[in-house]
Amino acid sequence: MTPLEIRGPAAAAIPLVLDSPHSGHAFPDDFGAAVSEAELREGEDCYVDELYAAGPELGVPLLAALWPRTYLDPNRHVGDIDLDLIEGHWPGEYRPSGKAKTGKALIWRTLEDGRPIYAKKLGVEKVLQRIQGFHLPYHAAIQDLIQSTFRKFGRSYHINCHSMRAVAGKQSEDGEGAVRADFVLGDRDGTSCDPRFTEFVRSTLAGMDYEVKVNDPYKGVELVRAYSDPAAGRHSLQIEINKRLYMDERTLQKAAGFASLQKNLASLLAEIKTFI
């Protein structure tokens, strides 16, 4: 299967790049999960790529992963391997982030409620094939978009686009039952982008009457860490959108608020254009 898609121009018209790593739901034939596709979609950032449709219209490329994150999560380091999921000796790089404790490392081992996704461990070759076919192409694509944008403009701004449960689940870092804000911005405590950019995005969204938090509970993971260097003009910011604003988490269908949220995100991108 084709693992990814770049929507909009191949080269950015302004120094901005978007990526949506978790909105895909094309299930690879070799998934081999012991649970249903509906259950596997619980980790999906449904429709996030569509919410940012104004990006390509503004000349901003949007990179979208087409496969489900439960198959392989591109927002992890390639060495973030869950050894409890692997059959045999792991021969590659091993750089654990701690996500394996909840079964949410590079390849998910459990659902949000802790149930195992697989009936047996995965062979090393199967894991390596997923890395080669999905993780590496995605990271090569986002790195190329950011680098080409930086070469063209002398600076680059990258927004890593996500959505989150309205209420924290059993394995969530903020504690089961925690009610989340409308938006959470993550800049890894000011290390992945200029704090002035984070504040600009925060204040713009707050001016639309949204509740916005920064680095609470999400600070950003691999995709904002790997290719950011604010001192050199490379900025990456993660934006988490509360699913209650635009969809029904039970049915995974769009809700009445989808169109208005999409319009507000278009306004946000237009405002960002004036900042960058």
Give the model's pLDDT for residue 169.
76
Q: What residues have CB less than 8 Å from 205, skipping those under 6 apart?
A: 182, 183, 212, 268
Give the model's pLDDT for residue 177.
80
Per-residue pLDDT of the chain in tens (276 residues, 90 and over written 9): 899 999 999 899 999 999 999 999 999 999 999 999 999 998 999 999 999 999 999 999 999 999 999 999 999 999 999 999 999 999 999 999 999 999 999 999 999 989 999 999 999 999 999 999 999 999 999 999 999 999 999 999 999 999 999 987 777 776 778 889 999 999 999 999 999 999 999 999 999 999 999 999 999 999 999 999 999 999 999 999 999 999 999 999 999 999 999 999 999 999 999 999
CA distance 271 to 254: 26
The number of angstroms, rounded, from the C-alpha of 15 to the middle of its chain's C-alpha atoms is 20
Q: Which domains does the chain have, with CATH numbers?
A: 4-73+149-275 (3.40.630.40)
**Helix segments in 100-194, DSSP class H:** 124-130, 136-153
What residues form DSSP beta bridges with 238?
160, 186
CA distance 97 to 253: 33
